[in-house]
C-alpha cells in the first residue's frame, strides 16, 4: 500500500555555503525520484535554514533509505542527522487514508 513518509534532514551550520558544490547532483537524485512519483515535494526550511523536509509516497520505506544513502548532501556531511516518519494523510486530494 502506498503511504506518505516524511524525511527530515537536519543540516550543518555551513550548509548554505557548502551546498553549491553538490546541489546539482542532489537535485538530479531528487528529480529521478520525483519523475516516477516516489518523491512528491522537497525543500529546505527557511528562517533559519536548519532543516529540509522531503515528502515521499512509496510502499516500502527502504526506498527512502536508498535515497539517503545516495544523496550527495549526506555523503559529503551537509546533513548531520535524518529521520524518516510515516505520515497518515487523511484529508486532501492526495491523502492516502481518506477519512
Tell me, what DSSP letter sits at residue 36?
Answer: T
pLDDT attached to residue 43? 97
Give the pLDDT confidence of 7-26 residue by residue, as tens digits. 999 999 999 999 999 999 99
38 Cβ contact list (under 8 Å, min separation 6): 56, 57, 58, 63
Confidence of residue 71 (pLDDT cuts 50, 70, 90): very high
pLDDT attached to residue 75? 98
Give the pLDDT confidence of 28-64 residue by residue, as tens digits. 999 999 999 999 999 999 999 999 999 999 999 999 9
pLDDT more than 70, % of the chain: 100
**Omega of the bond leading into 48 within 30 degrees of 0 (cis):** yes
Cross-strand partners of 86: 5
Supply the pTM of this predicted model: 0.95
Confidence of residue 3 (pLDDT cuts 50, 70, 90): very high
Complete domains list, the chain, with CATH: 3-87 (3.30.70.1060)
Amino acid at each position: 500500500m502506498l503511504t506518505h513518509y516524511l524525511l527530515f534532514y537536519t543540516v550543518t551550520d555551513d550548509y548554505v555555503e557548502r551546498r553549491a558544490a553538490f546541489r546539482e547532483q542532489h537535485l538530479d537524485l531528487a528529480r529521478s525520484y520525483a519523475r516516477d512519483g516516489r518523491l512528491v515535494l522537497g525543500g529546505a526550511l527557511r528562517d533559519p535554514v536548519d532543516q529540509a523536509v522531503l515528502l515521499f509516497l512509496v510502499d516500502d520505506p527502504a526506498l527512502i533509505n536508498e535515497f539517503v544513502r545516495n544523496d550527495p548532501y549526506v555523503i559529503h556531511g551537509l546533513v548531520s542527522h535524518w529521520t524518516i516518519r510515516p505520515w497518515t494523510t487523511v484529508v486532501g486530494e492526495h491523502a492516502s487514508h481518506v477519512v
